[in-house]
Structure formats: C-alpha cells, structure tokens
A and B are shown apart, each in its own frame.
Chain A
Amino acid sequence: MYFNRILIFSFVLLLSVPQVSQAGRKCKKGVEVVILHTNDMHSKIDNMAKLTWLADSLRQQHRYLFLVSAGDNFTGNPIVDMYPEVGYPMVDLMNKAGFVLSAMGNHEFDMGQEQFSQRRKEAGFPFISGNIDVSGSHLRKIRPWVTLKAGKCRIPLVSFIQLEKNGIPSSHPSRLEGIKFTPADVKTADFLFLKEKYGMLVGLTHLGIEGDVQLARKYPQFDLIIGGHSHTVMDKPLVENGVTIVQAGSQLKSVGKTTLAIEAGKITGIDYELISLDAFEGRDLAVQAAIDHYNDNEEMNRVLASAVTPMTGKEELGAMMTDALTAMSGVDIAFQNIGGIRIPLLSAGDILYRDIFRLDPFGNQVVVFEMTLPEIKSLILNAYNRNKEADLMVSGMTYTALVDGDGSCVGIEMKGTDGQPLDPAKTYKVGMNSYISASYTFDHADPGTVNYETTAQTLISYLKKVQKVDYQGTRRTAVRSI
C-alpha cells in the first residue's frame, strides 16, 4: 500500500514537471537567430543586389542568419518570365543572394511543371510545402518542412500553400495536372509533432494574411508565421492567439527581419522590423552586374513571328490582340479597349518579344465571362459612350454602333464572322482584359473568372503558334448615324 502511494506520488510529480523536449535538452544555451524574409518577389530583380548586401552585412553581426522566401518568386517581370529558361534569372540571383529556403507559392507553377522541375534543380535551396501531393505529376516530391540549424538548436519550418474555392491554388488548372492539394488547416495536424520534437514551430506560408490568421486561431502551437500571398506590408507584427504573424509586402520593395531569442529549446522572444530596400543605398556589386546583364540581355530582341504587312492603327492591332484571345483562351468572342493598345503601328517584318510589351505593357490578365447577347450589347454600348467612339476592338464577331445626333450610341448591330446575326439563344464565352472587366459598366450575370494568363503572354503564345500575321485593312467595327 505504502509502495503504491509512492508510485502514484512519483507519477503525479512527473506529470507536474514541465516537459522539456528532446531538442530542448540539447538546445540549452541561448541563441539569437535572424530570419530575413521576402515574399511575392514576382521576378522583380532590381533590388536583389541591395538584399544581398544587407544579408551579408547582417551575417557579419549575427552568427545565425537565414534568408528565406515565403513563395511567389516568379511571374511579373518579362525579363525573367520570357527568359528562354523561364524564371532562371530569379533562381540565379536568389542563389547569389544566399537564400536557404522557399515556400511554394501559387505562381511557382506558372512556368509549367517541366520548367519548374529544372529551376528546382538549379536552385541552391529547397522549395517546401506540406499540402501539395505531387505523386501523380512529373514533379519530384516536395518536402513539407525543414529545420534551420543554429548551434545545437533546430528550428522547424513548415509550409502551406493557399487554395481557392475550387480546391487548387490561384494558377491555371492545366499547369496543376496530377497534383493534389489539401487545405492547410487539415494538413497542419500532421506536423504538430515538430513542436513536441523541437520545442518550437515556425510557419513559412503562402496563405495570405487571412489564411495565416485562421491557422493561428486553430493552431496556437505555432510560435511564428512568416507569410506571403496577400502582399501585405506589415510594418509591425500581428499577434493572433499568441502566434506572431509577419509579412513583407511584395516585389522586393522591402524585406522582413525577424529575430528569434531561443532559450532552453523554446522561442522566448520575437522581434520584427520591416526594412525598405527601395530606400536602401548599399548594394552587392557582383549581383548588381548580374542584374544589369539580365536587364540588358538580348532575349527580348528575339523574333517571335513576322508581320506580312504593317499594322497601322488600333483596328488592325486590336484585331491581332483579340484574335490571340479567341485562339488561345478558348473564348468565342474577345474584346480589347483601344486605350490598352499602346503603340500606333507595328512595321512589316519581324515581331520581337519587346514589341509585345510595348504594345501591351500593363500586365493585365485575361478574364472570361459567360454572356448573353444583350449583355454583350450592353458592354459595347457602354464602352462606346465612355468617349463617344468605338472603344472596343473585337474578335469572333463584328459590330456597328448606331449613333444619334449627339454622338451617343443608342444601339448595336452585331454579326458573326460569317456575316450572319449572332444566335440570340446562345450564351457566349467572352474574353477581355482585367481592366475592361473591372472598370467598364456592363450587364453580366456571370461575375467572370481570371484565367491566370496575361493578355501579353496570350499574344506571345498566339504569335508563336501562327508565326505569320497579316491584318492590313481589317475592320471589325463601324459607326452609323441614325
């Protein structure tokens, strides 16, 4: 009986003693760890020399400094996106800057699985994500987590990618073939053992600030979440449910510097500051030379296709731009606003990559709507009345604006490419750029969906496919006074 009492007392005593993780026993000595973090750089390379200089300077002051990215390193700069080895300049510069880790962002998929596989091989750092299963795709396995080693301490970082309502990240579905995704809040449970094993848990996520807040509410086991995706410029951290959340804007304008104080295997303090790289003067000269090389490269002067005749005026250029949408985006009808056609002519002869970004420099995305004929009519009519001119160039149909004595459009006559009236019973798939979609007034029951391709990329794909274009004399819009 006495022996049993001792046994029970010992057991209770054991439970009441704070549990020290295995890692905590090894990681006794206090260490300071600095994590420099970027997110959503989107191929913006111009500040990489400043980041490299800053990271090197801080390495001289801090023994344990790690440079990481919270995803979306690619897409957003033609110099990188149109490089023959798509995205390579970004990987090269991230290697030179000393990145040790990147989360998978939705735009990592934009270049296609084959190209991304190659970039992963070239990267001197792993891409991680805990809610991506690539076993049915051409990609090799993506690790869910890694540890950063600081002396005898190991800091586990686990990553998750955002998913849309359709269960996939914001990227074109064709690029995600064979890949399965699971919501972050479901998968997180699989990785809570990291907290027990290492005494701490850091998220390097691509969920957006709303997703990070949800994760923190459900899993207070996280000490810190370094986030991305929403392009949030966090000048101070957000603390939710005891979890510190940070994020550093986008386009490498800023970098986050998060300093962890680690004592006895636990994070005992987190200090965060946002450092503006735009305002920063120091730069690594070797990296700057590499940036200059990429910016000056001849790749943008590559020949894409040839124009049999010159394209003069917005009708002819607009016809080419909209034909690209109907040919490449699977739409019946496409529109292009004349304000988005930024050059007056394209000479006969070679069409270069550079020409496309002069013609269509805005980075607008393609948006697709299911529309009825009255809805299409309302779009054309309202567009005309913005400036009392035929504002929308078109493919897949022609139209005549019926204009009254004041110059206002009061009616639209529409015909198919065969010259016959369009089918009033049919719903048409209509493509247009995101500027028209957002800022023009028109009736549409379908809210529209972006297809994660820019109009410029679509035009490039079209010209690569057709190789020769001839739009001389093309007229698809007309105006008639009534």
Chain B
Amino acid sequence: MLVFVNNRRVEVFCGATLLDVVRAYSLTSSKRLLSGYLAVYDRFGYKTEPDGPAVEGGHYFLRVAARSKR
C-alpha cells in the first residue's frame, strides 16, 4: 500500500504498522523512533504510537518527539 512520510511516497505491505512504514522510509529514522528521539505525527498533528496501523494513503510526519525538545 502507498503511504506518505514527510510527503515522500513509501510503498509498504498491506497491514503494516507505522514502525514498518518508518523502516521502509529510513532504517536510521526507525532506530531514532524506537529510541524515542523521533515520533510519528498524523495529518491532524497528533502523535501516533509506532505500533499503530498505517492507513492506505495516510500522511505521516516524523518530528523530534515533544519531550525531547529543549
């Protein structure tokens, strides 16, 4: 299925979690996501847990997690 991470197209298998999506986008980013440095936000601006399901056509954004901001 097709999703978008930081407005870039990412092809991933049907039923993928957001962690899978971020792995497909960038393995380095997925490690930062797991470490808690980065977080995934949805198109409404809400943080979404990495174990959540990705939605076909969904737009997701990787940002520095709020608690990591100084």
Chain A residues near B53 (CB-CB < 8 A): 170, 208, 229-231
Is there an interface contact between A438 and B55, defined as CB atoms closer than 8 Å?
Answer: no
A10 interface contact, C-beta 8 A: no
Contact of B1 among A249, A435, A447 (CB under 8 A): A447
**B contacts with A, residue count (CB < 8 A):** 28
How many whole Å from A212's CB to the nearest CB in chain B? 11
Residues A437 and B58 in contact in the complex (CB < 8 Å), given A251-B51, A447-B1: no
Q: Is the CB of A249 within 8 A of B49?
A: yes
Is the pair B44, A238 in contact by a Cβ cutoff of 8 Å? yes
How would residues 1 to 43 of chain B score, 1 for a CB under 8 Å from any chain A CB and 0 otherwise? 1000000000111111111110110010010000000000010
Which of A232, A235, A369, A452 is in CB contact (< 8 Å) with B52? A232
Query: Which one of A229, A235, A251, A437 has the highest number of Cβ atoms from chain B below 10 Å of its Cβ?
Result: A437
Q: A449, B42: Cβ atoms under 8 Å?
A: no
**Total number of residue pairs linking A and B with CB closer than 8 Å:** 90
**A331 to chain B: which residues have CB within 8 Å?**
none
Bound CA–CA A313/B15 (angstroms): 32
CA distance A234 to B46 in the complex (A): 6
Within the complex, the shortest CB–CB distance from B17 to chain A, in Å, comes to: 7
Report the Cα distance A283→B28, complex, angstroms: 37
Q: Say how far B9's CB is from chain A's closest CB, in angstroms.
A: 13
Q: With an 8 A cutoff between CB atoms, is A209 at the interface?
A: yes
Q: Which residues of chain B come closer than 8 Å to A439, judged between CB atoms?
A: 23-24, 27, 30
B-side contacts of A296, CB under 8 Å? none
User: Once the chains bind, are B47 and A447 in contact (CB under 8 Å)?
Assistant: no
Q: Is the CB of B14 within 8 A of A449?
A: yes
Q: Judge whether A383 is part of the interface by a CB distance below 8 angstroms.
A: no
Q: Is the CB of B16 within 8 A of A434?
A: yes
- Report chain B residues within 8 Å CB of A76: 51
A469 at the interface (CB under 8 A from B): no
Is A365 in the interface zone, CB < 8 Å from B? yes
CB contacts (< 8 Å) of B14 on chain A: these are: 164, 447-450
- The residue that B46 contacts in the complex, of A209, A229, A447, A448, with Cβ under 8 A, is A209
A233 CB-CB contact with B under 8 Å: yes
Residue of B nearest to A211 (CB): B55
Closest to B21 in A: A438
Q: Return the CB mask of A33-50 against B: 1 if under 8 Å, else 0.
A: 000000010100000000
Known contacts A209-B44, A439-B23; is-contact A230 B30 (Cβ 8 Å): no
**A250 and B27 in contact (CB under 8 A), knowing A437-B13, A448-B13, A449-B15?**
no
A202 to chain B, nearest CB (A): 20
**B12, B15, B21, B52: the one within 8 Å of A230 (CB):** B52
Contact at B58–A450, with CB atoms within 8 Å? Answer: no
Contacts of B51 in A (CB 8 A): 42, 76, 231, 250-251
- A211-239: CB near B (< 8 Å → 1, else 0) gives 00000000000000000011111110010
| A residues 456-475 in Cβ contact with B at 8 Å | none
B48 touches A232 (CB 8 A): yes
> Does the CB pair A251–B20 fall under 8 Å?
no
Contact A450 B27 (CB under 8 A): no
Please name all residues of chain B whose beta carbon is closer than 8 Å to the beta carbon of A208 when the two chains form the complex.
Answer: 53, 55
B49 touches A231 (CB 8 A): yes
Contacts of B16 in A (CB 8 A): 434, 437-438, 450
Across-interface contacts of B21 in A (CB, < 8 A): 438
Does A210 have its Cβ within 8 Å of any Cβ on chain B?
Answer: yes
Residue of A with least CB distance to B15: A450
Docked CA distance A449–B24 (Å):
15
Nearest-CB residue, chain A, relative to B56: A165
A233 near B48 with CB under 8 A, answer yes
CA distance A434 to B19 in the complex (A): 10
Complex CA–CA separation, A251 to B48 (angstroms): 12
Chain B CB within 8 A of A367 CB: yes
Q: List 9 A-B contacts (CB under 8 A).
A: A208-B55, A210-B55, A232-B47, A233-B46, A249-B49, A367-B15, A438-B12, A438-B13, A438-B21
Binding site for B on A (CB under 8 A): 40, 42, 76, 164-165, 170, 208-210, 229-235, 238, 249-251, 253, 365, 367, 369, 434-435, 437-439, 447-450, 452
Known contacts A209-B44, A230-B53, then 13 further A-B pairs from the complex at CB < 8 Å, ordered by chain A residue? A40-B49, A40-B52, A170-B53, A231-B51, A232-B46, A251-B49, A251-B51, A434-B16, A434-B20, A438-B19, A447-B13, A449-B13, A450-B16
Minimum-distance CB pairs A-B, first 8: A450-B15, A231-B52, A448-B13, A231-B49, A438-B20, A438-B23, A439-B23, A233-B47
